[in-house]
Structure 1
Amino acid sequence: MNLDSITETLFQSNKLYKKILGASSARDVRINFSALTNKVCGGDRANVKRQVATYATTSPLLAHKLLDLKWEVNKQAPIVMMSSLVETLEQLASSTVPTAQEPKTLVLVMGDRGLTVSNRMVWSRLLAEFVAKQWQIEIFFLGEDAER
């Protein structure tokens, strides 16, 4: 999970808060990490091998709320945030091989603030690598134009 791109999308959007009942500004938006975790990890948490959230600029108090939900929370320097995330995913792709009996799914959670042109190129290359290795991929995307 790219926590910075999610919080930046939620808290800096001029449109997204309007989709939330009762919100009159982005300041009224809250993140329910428990519901988010249930949504992205599914009902059977025993099948989830690793939950990783990275952040650089998000409040550490907010980020650490994920620890109670069994997330591994990694603070990064803003300048190395994307490269560190890519390195973690490349290690995962090279160390874990899906089989017919034990398929693997990569679940990404991000906001649209992390989708710069250069990041899109990195994501395209990285996702192609996972697909080539027979991984299933799910992407949970939060953006101004995304549905609820």
Structure 2
Amino acid sequence: MSEFGKSKVAAFITAAIERSSKTQLEISAEAGFPRSSVLSMIKQGQTKMPLARIPQMARALEVDEVEFFRLAMGEYMPELLRICDQMYACQRLTEDEVALLCEVRKGMNGHGVRMTPRVRAALARFLEEALD
């Protein structure tokens, strides 16, 4: 729990709404909630943020969906978050890193890349040239 007994997720959402130029009704609609009262209940800590709605809510609030999801998982299911982090070695990628990975996948025609010594050397040469 954070200040005033609110959950960290509720405080995060409240702060994002306050920063937003949108009304709570607009945010609720964009997040796919049938009634804005659901968002009020989440803000007050009376109900949990549905995990499946986090991507839509993040877009509506213009916040990072990964940060939002990890915050919610850490509050609602900390043990599951820990297991996922261990299993998937979660390291958050930047938007540019994601774009780079997408370009690599496109260049590989959808096939994965094996980090062979040859690929590693070619990547090192590319990065050396790109960063000059």
The structure with higher relative contact order (CA 8 Å, sep 6+) is 1
Structure with greater proportional strand content: 1
Structure with greater proportional helix content: 2
TM (norm. structure 1) is 0.27
TM (norm. structure 2) is 0.30
